[in-house]
Structure 1
Amino acid sequence: MVNDTILETQGLTKEFRGFVAVKGVNLRVRRGTIHALIGPNGAGKTTCFNLLTRFLPSSRGSISFKGQDITRARPADVARLGMVRSFQISATFPHLSVLENVRVALQRERGASFDFWRSEQVLSTYDARASELLDAVGLGAHAHLPAVELSYGRKRALEIATTLALDPELLLLDEPTAGMGHEDVERIAALIQQVAANRTVLMVEHNLSVVANLCHTITVLARGEILAEGDYATVSKNPDVVQAYMGAEHV
């Protein structure tokens, strides 16, 4: 039988000088699903993301990706294996065009070469694929606009395009709809659903209506520990989850 687990942690723990930010987390993400990490502020969600992608070393526990132990892997190696993340703050090159931003991400396949300094002819070989990715995220008409001129929601869409340029099997999205108006939230939610058609998505998200509509499995964190797990109907009725969100958000 094919193993349907793409990412698994056992006892994942992170301590900062005696403060336990993530405690004994056993997480299992199934291939081809959209999986959410939710919880009140300070629950340990972003710290958990940083541990999974090895931006932070864990204090204890193990991380397995596609059956391979990555507990002590370097972040760049984790990305090369196919686990790529976005960040809460949009990370684009503001004064490059939208197309050039995606092109920079596509240059990964050239390894360590400094394509920033190469001829336009060399760089233009990436244009077709960059254009495809921009069309996929609804930015085709904005390809030659400087990234700084995009609206906030479209900057997040550009960030997703640059992340997709790395061709991840597992896409980690950290608060993809944070700070957005209703229209941008709907656009990004539709985009996440679209890109999840042929890959796995693990997301941290505060907008519970987005979580309810998109996610197959939801893991609720509180004080660094898993409080509940299941589909939205299950976790939203869990008394412990409701209590954890009291005064923060209504589940």
Structure 2
Amino acid sequence: MLEARGLTKEFNGFLAVRDVDLTVERGTIHALIGPNGAGKTTCFNLLTKFLRPTSGKITYDGRDITAMSPTDIARLGLVRSFQISAVFGEMTVLENVRVALQRQRGESYDFWRSDRTLNQFDGDARRYIDDVGLSEFVDHRAAELSYGRKRALEIATTLALEPKMLLLDEPMAGMAQQDVELISVLIRRISEGRTILMVEHNLSVVADLSDKITVLAQGEVLEEGDYETVSKSPKVIEAYIGVDHE
């Protein structure tokens, strides 16, 4: 579904990502992990085109997207979330999802349209809200939600864009354990029929959700495989805790 070959990013002589090869199989949950400074965020931003690669090629669903913009690839069904929850706090849960659905009208998001005009989107909006377990909060202002539920709302607005593939940037960041469990269940549920690539620090979440894991260190691929394989790798153990176990 998503493939990178020779992906490299240089910042003023510093190689943040070096010759990374990555293949995300269709219909899987793939995790991108690594210690601090490994290049995960840079790699993620390259894949979603928020950064331009210095060299390399990115293919999505059989199409070369290396030179495309984030907006253009989102229209192809490759949609990402961000580390910081991005919802409209003064809008209700329903209104937040309805904004995402307004793309069906074309290019305009029509904040000034009457409710009567926008009510046509309510049925679909409620369906996505139900998918993420927020039905009882449909008329609540987004600002009133807990952090975990704000993340769930963000995922609902992402689903409203009808993505073929979701890229989740640290979906568990800053969450209490209760919210982590909530979002883990949600990611598992929405993965049916979709492909997911996520950057995540919580290794218990990675172990529970991921079909395949790519470990980065110092901008390069260190190890790849299922959780059992990468967790037992001496190279991965050394990268994370700084001890050579070979």
Say yes or no: TM over 0.5. yes
Would you say 1:30 and 2:25 are equivalent positions? yes
Residue type of the partner of 1:176?
A: P
Gaps of 5+ in 1: 1-5
Q: CA deviation at 1:114?
A: 3.9
**1:235 aligns to what?**
230
Structure 1 ranges of 4+ moved more than 3 A:
none
Q: CA deviation at 1:247?
A: 5.9
Q: CA RMSD in A?
A: 1.1
Q: Secondary structure at the match of 1:116?
A: coil
Q: Percent identity?
A: 65
Q: Find the residue that maps to 1:155 and give its secondary structure.
A: helix
Alignment partners' CA distance in 2, 1:100 and 1:142: 12
Alignment partner, residue 130 of structure 2: 135
Q: Which residue of 2 aligns with 1:83?
A: 78
Aligned to 2:241: 246
**Per-residue deviation at 1:108?**
1.3
Q: Which moved more, 1:153-162 or 1:116-125?
A: 116-125
> Which residue of structure 2 lines up, in the alignment, with residue 147 of structure 1?
142
Amino acid at match of 2:134: L
Superposition TM-score, scaled by structure 1 size: 0.95
Question: Are residue 162 (structure 1) and residue 144 (structure 2) matched?
Answer: no
> Conserved in 1, the CA contact under 8 Å of 2:99 and 2:109?
no
Which amino acid in 1 is paired with 2:136?
A: A
Show the counterpart of 2:65.
70
- Rounded Cα–Cα distance in structure 2 between residues aligned with 1:81 and 1:55: 16
Q: Residue 170 of structure 2 corresponds to which residue in structure 1? A: 175
Q: What letter is aligned with 1:89?
A: I
Match of 1:119 among 114, 118, 121: 114
1:105 corresponding residue in structure 2:
100
Aligned residue identity for 2:133: G
Structure 2 counterparts to residues 178-193 of structure 1, below 5 A: 178-193=173-188
The two structures have a TM-score, normalised by structure 2, of 0.97
1:210 lines up with 2:205 in the alignment: yes
**1:21-56: CA deviation from partner (whole Å, max 9, x where unpaired):** 111110000000000000011111111111111111
2:190 is aligned with what amino acid? V
Q: Quick one: which amino acid aligns to residue 208 of structure 1? A: L
Structure 1 counterpart of 2:15: 20
SS in 1 for 2:191: helix
User: Contact between 2:102 and 2:109, CA under 8 Å: does it hold in 1?
Assistant: no
SS at structure 2 position matched to 1:162:
helix
